[in-house]
Chains A and B, each alone.
Chain A
């Protein structure tokens, strides 16, 4: 060892000898890069991540589809006597006894129409845009607030911790859906301050608040552990302020926990938004969302099951893809190797 050889020599020579020891070895790979490599090998997770990406792109292209292919908007109701020409035959969009047209597999009314004569496929894409947007914004709100409050509570402890934890307990005491409906209805009817119900931001805020305790508690627990470690003492001795310690030392160490939570919260946010819209406390009509489409479709379920099936399958596909991809991310960040129980 270099230290043994340099026992009789000065410190600088020992240091130089020690440092040059590993010069001929290949450079080390950091944990993020290792995780990325592991993720790349997980074909199933990558496939579903790709599926989700395709869904997002499709929904973002909603205006293109509506304008150039279907030639109709998401809220354009067909008149009582509107007809559409399919393969030579002329059919009414909504028949005399209120049966909307089923999937035509053509450019117009690809997935059929709903009871008001609106094009299901166009609504599907616009609704997807709403659902995904609300989910993304809600996830952002949850993660930012939960991490900020969790680090604060875990680091300072004492009074801050007591207040923040009690607040989290109170939010968590409500079942997610009930809290969501209460907040959502309050926004929809009167609004609080400038936030009104027809704003798409309102459901996003509602969904965002509901999941804060879910992320806050694990982050706080991790910060509680980390603050006892030596590197925090070292940082303090170097003269870093409390704020600097929190953001430059603690935050990067909870980063992997944050990354694991993001897909989980996104999936749950999309599901919660769909549930709230289904119950009427989320996205308000006439704006489409996958949840409102299912609730509308349930009214004509015996004659037009496609109006329930199509948005439902899109919803399940989106959420499932996020879940499987998120699971792959979590496996990739997990430093432990797989273990067999049966020998």
Chain B
């Protein structure tokens, strides 16, 4: 058991390292950034100055080492904007956290509801309607859905503010600003998770232990709650961990940009747009750490819950 955990953590570390190296190399393929930083009318002397100042003329592994050292000692500065990247990320993180966890709780509970309903009434009208609704949910890109919500519920009906984020110091404002983003993000995931849950529940219903449970005299409801649902939740929890990891690392970029939440995702978008290499590196590392860590935790949880997995 301990060996399993240690192996997972080691593999996680390796993947994070590989991610940083590949990102660095990929962005390094863009060539010497000094020309871009110097501005349009720079002459060769200015470019050379910038190159020496930031060390672009050093071999690539030296640059990589310096970049990583700066990032981990908290001294990483954006070339373009000059701000301290880690301070900026800390500033933007509450928005991303609020969005991710709020939406995560909403979509998990609603997915369980919708998925269970669809499975219990499988093949009948309720199921067909819920399936089509779920399909529609998965087919809406978040920026389009967000635009529709903003236009009809924000602009026309004025029920919600038109984007932006309010800190937790003003709880009611914080809530009002997050309702539409939560709805946008949740609909996407509910569509996906409810269908996974539905098919997992249907698969489990064929298993022998369910037949035994019925034979013991448990009602359909009791069988569902005490046996089937518990086992069907395992893949859902695993997926939830992975998706939360992605969101926490800036994966909610589309929702954040549409609602202008100034979260980590939006920071990533602007950084990539202006090719701010160091910021991109920091956010990519953050994402990779979040995803890999959460996936390792979920794997370990998985092994704890289901003894069959431990041997794998």
A residues near B, CB below 8 A? 44, 166, 169-170, 173-178, 181-183, 185-186, 189-190, 192, 267, 271, 274-275, 278-281, 291, 294-295, 298, 301-302, 305, 308-309, 312, 315-316, 319-320, 323-324, 327, 336, 338-343
Contacts and interface: CB of A to CB of B under 8 A. Distances in A.
Contact of B136 (A166, A175, A320, A336): A320
Contacts of B273: 185, 279-280
A175 B122 contact: no
Contact of B19 (A170, A294, A323): A170
The SS class assigned to the B binding surface is helix
Interface string B13-39: 011101100110011011100000000
A294 B143 contact: yes
Nearest to B269: A279
A131 B100 CA distance: 29
A182 B272 contact: yes
B259 to A, nearest CB: 12
Nearest to A322: B139
A54 to B, nearest CB: 17
B280 interface: yes
B291 A173 contact: yes
Interface string B216-260: 000010001000100000000000000000100111011001100
B239 to A, nearest CB: 13
Contact of A174 (B120, B135, B138, B287): B287
Contacts of B26: 182-183, 186
Contacts of B292: 173
Interface stretch (B61-69, B76-84, B104-112, B144-152): B144-152
Contacts of A308: 144, 147, 151
A315 B141 contact: yes
10 contacts: A169-B15, A174-B288, A178-B251, A178-B253, A181-B272, A182-B280, A294-B144, A312-B144, A319-B138, A341-B224
B154 to A, nearest CB: 10
Nearest to A320: B139
Nearest to B21: A170
B278 interface: no
Nearest to A295: B143
Given A177-B253, A279-B269, A343 B287 contact: no
Contacts of A319: 138-139
A223 B147 CA distance: 44
B51 interface: no
Nearest to A272: B141
B202 interface: yes
Contacts of A327: 131, 135
A295 B269 CA distance: 14
A316 B220 contact: no
Contacts of A309: 148
Contacts of A166: 14-15, 18
A343 B220 contact: yes
Contacts of A301: 147, 150-151, 155
A217 to B, nearest CB: 12
Contacts of A169: 11, 15
A175 B251 contact: yes
A295 B128 CA distance: 33
B297 interface: no
Range class of the B interface residue count:
35 or more
B103 interface: no
A185 B280 CA distance: 12
B141 A341 contact: no
A168 to B, nearest CB: 10
Contacts, number: 149
B201 interface: yes
Contact of B140 (A44, A302, A316): A316
B220 A339 contact: no
A175, A186, A275 — which one has the most chain B CB atoms within 10 A of its CB?
A175
Nearest to B254: A275
B119 interface: yes
A341 B119 contact: yes
B153 interface: no
Given A170-B18, A182-B26, A312-B144, A340 B139 contact: no
A177 B123 contact: no
A325 to B, nearest CB: 10
B60 interface: no
A338 B147 contact: no
Given A186-B29, A324-B135, A342-B120, 16 more contacts: A170-B19, A175-B246, A175-B249, A175-B250, A178-B251, A178-B283, A182-B280, A192-B29, A298-B143, A308-B151, A316-B136, A316-B140, A323-B135, A327-B131, A341-B202, A341-B205
A298 B254 CA distance: 13
Given A170-B18, A181-B269, A278-B143, A342 B29 contact: no
B89 interface: no
A341 B122 contact: yes
Given A175-B291, A281-B272, A308-B147, A342 B121 contact: yes
Contacts of B139: 267, 271, 316, 319-320, 323
B268 interface: yes
Contact of B287 (A178, A183, A338): A178
B43 interface: no
B5 interface: no
Nearest to A309: B148
Contacts of B283: 178
A189 B32 CA distance: 13
B206 interface: yes
A309 B257 CA distance: 18
B7 to A, nearest CB: 13
A339 B122 contact: yes
Contacts of B305: none
Contacts of A341: 119-120, 122, 201-202, 205, 220, 224, 228
